Amino acid sequence: MEFVAQQIMNALSFGAEYALLALGLAIVFSIMGLVNFAHGEIIAVGGYTMVAMAALSLNNPLIVVGAAIFAASIGAVTLERVAFRPVRYADPTTGLLTAFGVSIVLQNLFLLLVSPRPIAVTSLYFLEWPIPFAGLRISSLQLFETLTTIIVIVVMMLFLKRTVLGLSMRAAALDFEMVRLTGIKANRVFAAAFLISGVLAGIACVFIMARRGSVDPHLGFDPVLMAFVACVVGGFGSLPGAVIGGFLLGAIEVAMLVLLPQSLGGMTEAFVFGSIALLLIWRPDGILTPPREKGDKQ
Amino acid sequence: MLVVQNLNVFHGPIEAVHGISFTVKEGTCVSLLGPNGAGKTSTISAITGVAKSTGSIMFADEDISALPVETRIRKGIAVSPEGRRVFANLSVKENLRLGGAYNAANVDSLIAEWFETFPILGERRDQLAGTLSGGEQQMLAIARALMSEPRILLLDEPSLGLAPKIVTQIFTMIERLKEKQMTILLVEQNATLALRLSDHAYLLNNGQIVADGTAETFGSNDALMAELTGLA
Amino acid sequence: MTLSRSQKRGLVGASLLAFVLIMVGIIASYFGSKYQLRIVYGSYVSLMVVLALQVFMGNARITNLSHSAFMGIGAYAAAICVTPVAMKKISLPSAPWGLNAFALDPVTSAVIAIVITAVIALLIGLILARLSGIGATIVSLAVLVIVHSLFLYRTDIFKGNQAFFGIPQVFTLTSAVIIAVIMVYVVRGFKESRWGIALRASADDEISAAAMGVNVHRLRLLAWVLSCVLLAVAGIAYSYYLGTISARPFYFNHVFLTLAMLILGGMRTVTGAVLGTFLISFGLEWVRWLETGPHILGLKFPEVLGLSGVVLGSVIVLIMALRPGGIMGDREIEDFILKE
């Protein structure tokens, strides 16, 4: 019984992180049709900011966390302004390739300008301590992560339902031109989308750093890949889909870890992706979208 | 209020409208008539800035031809586009809120007003706009456009795809707007209805203006009317 | 068989490209050092991949991100079949299904590899061909990741990131040039064939094409399988020269590199594929040389590790922003010589 509860906790925290990452990708895609592969590098920006904070001897955890989230947000908005604006109204493929290019450039800039080697980030170690709870040993980090993600999701829902900017973002996902025709500035909507994705990346960065303890130029690759898979599973571009996809991915990963015999231990990734493959065969458009009549687009 | 001169509208490399000129005086209703593909919607797109165009577009004595879409709208132009294009994934109320987005002060009172004028919209206030009937969506599109309290309203094919009874309702609504001195540019295939409301009308064909005059001029020209209603 | 006008032009264009490829090959063989020869061979393999990409992306107008995976499938399939038993017993001691107990000649192995790749391509293509633009791309990316993790997972067959060695090195630069030349004709031929034309027309307007009786999905599937077969050939060429392969080259970096080559040259034309490949292959070598901090005119340049990545990424971003059609746009090489 305790084992099951423990695994559920694991699945929740894994899922929470993937959901957070997936949301960052989904919000940009739903509005702009852009698969932002550079999202991983935004996370790395947060990580390197933490390094900078440590170098400046600013070890107050609130400052470190705040700086990381701030840097990630600014980084995301800057990327939009500089790299993505020229291809804003181009087809999704152009945007995807641009994002790929930006991602490679940033990874190599980190390599070039900072260091090819991992740099330790210890200021967040305090976040992790074991909490004994009803016979379970939960990591505090897991708890924080799950709670934070839930709060983030609630806040986002409120934002999207209650604020004009949120409304325009939802409308833009369906008919961007019409949003412009009601007088709402395109720049504002796009910048907002990227700002939100930057904030989400920054929050995810905090948890990733707390667990990893170090940052390197290719830090962003694995997270963005998982985010991408989670989005595909849930139906690319759908925000609830991103959340469901993230939690589902977390659940599958934990299930594989648990179910696979010891001898196949290192194969979890392969099995996870294998399950995803089966899912895609069944529902190529993702879980949330019902199997569509081929040939009709949005 | 709106003076268009020598307008050429382009869809990619194709020129859809060739050097047309027309005027919409303040407080009047002007119609653009003509068959499918005549260039009526292209003209509207050029005015809003969605389509590329050359030529001069003067709105309230200001040249707007170089301005981006949102800036033009904010000058006081509102549009109920072809196909209505309500935000299907938002509720009726949310649609209206977006329409009044930069008119922040009055939004709530305006929404209340619209719900009074059109009880149906009020009844369906929390319903997703995509689930409304065609006529209700058209009402919503017009109400949404008017939320910004514009100086001119561009109406593109309001009768399209609607049952005759509903069309009558919509046009009654437009008539009421006229009574309130709203400046309207109306694009319509249903010439009879359009002419009943308009002070002035232009007939487009193949991207050019082939006839223009007051509603009486059109009405008294039997040949023209036969052609127009044959097309309607 | 009478050729249409565009097909005749295509023949001229392909022959011009073939001439260029043969010339480069000859120059490299006579004047190149062993090291340079390897680089040139590598660029020809890249060319094969880029040509394969062009046949699908240039005609179906869908971005494919899984191509490196199919190259890997071809490479591994051929490698497993052709490597001598003695070698396999060392490198794959626990291979299942008796995979380490047989060895076939290079030709048979190549054929088997192509067939296997084609079958897998067909199965995946059945799903992919029915998806629209960005959806297909996204699924192709998933395919890349899945195939890669399979390579890593079954180390008993693939050896994962470790080197799978012992492949007989039966290919030389000449073989690569010959294959590349043949591919140029095939790819250009497809482009000017009625399938290629129909596919491009439907890529621009799917509904009208369907209304005219064009079976878009089948055409896409055709281009997809053709593309994957060519990728398998590229993979075979890769393993038959190097003698050693691992899972690493068949993943994101390679995807990105070859995509950059196609985009730079222009994905709509075969000439673009060739141009982009050579520009980036040789350009990158030059940048890599710069990276090491060389001595130029008595000045010591600093080591700038990562410069090649920055350059490559910037090329993509700039092309997408400024000239999405690539250098060649819609023009093939014969357009410079023949009148319209």
List pLDDT tens digits, range A81-122: 988 888 887 777 788 888 988 998 999 888 888 888 888 887
Residues in A touching C130 (Cβ below 8 Å): 284, 294
- Distances from the Cα of C232 to the Cα of C67, C72, C124, C128, C138, angstroms: 9, 8, 15, 19, 22
Across the range A123-149, mean pLDDT stands at: 76
List pLDDT tens digits, range C133-186: 777 887 788 788 888 877 877 776 777 777 777 777 777 888 888 889 999 989
Which residue from A96, A230, A105 is spatially nearest to C259, judged by alpha carbons? A96
Q: B184: phi > 0 → left, psi -120 to 50 → alpha, else beta; which? A: beta
C-alpha angle with apex C15: C13 to C19, nearest 5 degrees? 120
- Distances from the Cα of A86 to the Cα of A78, C302, C317, C323, C324, angstroms: 13, 33, 10, 11, 11
Does position A152 have pLDDT exceeding 80, yes or no? yes
C-alpha angle with apex A113: A110 to A118, nearest 5 degrees? 50
Instruction: Share the mean pLDDT of chain C.
Output: 83
Q: How far is CA B140 from the centre of its chain?
A: 13
Does position C301 have pLDDT exceeding 70, yes or no? no
CB–CB contact A180 B73 (8 Å):
yes
> How far apart are the C-alpha atoms of A204 and A144, rounded to whole Å?
11
The interface predicted TM-score of the complex, written ipTM, equals 0.88
Across the range C33-60, mean pLDDT stands at: 89
Token digits of residue C332? 């093939």
Q: Which amino acid is at C110?
A: A
Contacts of B among chains (3+ CB pairs under 8 A):
A
Rounded to two decimals, the pTM is 0.83
Across the range C213-242, mean pLDDT stands at: 88
Is residue C190 a contact partner of residue C229, using CB atoms and an 8 Å limit? no
> How far apart are the C-alpha atoms of C34 and A121, rounded to whole Å?
45
Helix-strand-coil split of chain A, %, nearest 5: 75, 5, 20
Cβ atoms within 10 Å, residue A278: 10
pLDDT, position A275: 74
Across the range A23-50, mean pLDDT stands at: 90
List pLDDT tens digits, range A171-205: 888 888 899 999 888 888 999 999 999 999 999 99
Is residue B47 a contact partner of residue B23, using CB atoms and an 8 Å limit? no
List pLDDT tens digits, range C4-39: 777 888 888 888 888 888 888 888 888 778 888 888
Token digits of residue C51? 């040509």
- What are the sequence ranges of the domains in chain A? 2-219
Name the more confident of C16 and A281. C16
Catalogue all structural domains in chain B, each as residue range(s) with its CATH number: 2-231 (3.40.50.300)
pLDDT, position A197: 94
Q: Which amino acid is at A180?
A: R
Residues in A touching B105 (Cβ below 8 Å): none
Which residue from C320, C175, C174, C322 is spatially nearest to C236, judged by alpha carbons? C175
Helices within chain B (DSSP H only): 40-48, 69-74, 92-99, 107-117, 119-123, 134-146, 164-179, 191-197, 215-220, 222-231
CB–CB contact A270 C206 (8 Å):
no
Residues in C touching A216 (Cβ below 8 Å): none
CB–CB contact A93 C133 (8 Å):
yes
Question: What is the full DSSP assignment across C106-153?
Answer: HHHHHHHHHHHHHHHHHHHHHHHTTS-HHHHHHHHHHHHHHHHHHHHH
> In this structure, which long-range contacts are made by residues C241-244, counting pairs with CB atoms below 8 Å and at least 24 apart in sequence?
C241/C41, C241/C45, C241/C169, C241/C171, C241/C172, C241/C176, C242/C167, C242/C169, C243/C165, C243/C166, C243/C167, C243/C168, C243/C169, C244/C163, C244/C164, C244/C165, C244/C166, C244/C167
Token digits of residue C184? 């140029």
Q: Does C146 touch chain A (CB under 8 A)?
A: yes
List pLDDT tens digits, range A56-78: 877 777 888 888 999 999 999 99
3-class SS of residue A286: coil
Helix-strand-coil split of chain C, %, nearest 5: 75, 0, 25
User: Which residue in the set B85, B90, B148 is minimally distant from A183, CB to CB?
Assistant: B148
Is residue C53 a contact partner of residue C140, using CB atoms and an 8 Å limit? no
Does position A296 have pLDDT exceeding 50, yes or no? no
CB–CB contact C134 A92 (8 Å):
yes
Is residue B32 a contact partner of residue B191, using CB atoms and an 8 Å limit? no
Q: How far is CA A295 from the centre of its chain?
A: 30
Is residue A200 a contact partner of residue A145, using CB atoms and an 8 Å limit? no
**Residue C207: pLDDT band with limits 50, 70, 90:** low
Q: Which of B142-151, C94-103, C285-294 has the lowest mean pLDDT?
A: C94-103
Across the range B180-200, mean pLDDT stands at: 86
- What are the sequence ranges of the domains in chain C? 5-250
Which residue from A155, A153, A149, A152 is spatially nearest to A240, judged by alpha carbons? A153
**Residue A295: pLDDT band with limits 50, 70, 90:** very low
Please state whether at least 3 CB pairs lie below 8 Å between chains B and A.
yes
Does position A163 have pLDDT exceeding 70, yes or no? yes
Nearest-CA distance from A44 to chain B in Å? 35
Nearest CA in chain C to A291: C131
DSSP A139: E
Contacts of A among chains (3+ CB pairs under 8 A):
B, C
Residues in A touching B102 (Cβ below 8 Å): 183-184
**Residue A44: pLDDT band with limits 50, 70, 90:** very high
Nearest-CA distance from A185 to chain C in Å? 22
Length of chain C: 340
Is residue B223 a contact partner of residue B53, using CB atoms and an 8 Å limit? no
**Residue C121: pLDDT band with limits 50, 70, 90:** very high
List pLDDT tens digits, range B1-55: 888 888 888 887 788 888 888 888 888 899 988 887 778 888 899 999 888 888 8
Does position B230 have pLDDT exceeding 80, yes or no? no
pLDDT, position B228: 66
Which residue from A18, A14, A46, A7 is spatially nearest to A243, judged by alpha carbons? A18
Cβ atoms within 10 Å, residue C311: 21
Across the range C104-118, mean pLDDT stands at: 86
Across the range A136-142, mean pLDDT stands at: 76
> How far apart are the C-alpha atoms of B156 and B138, rounded to whole Å?
11
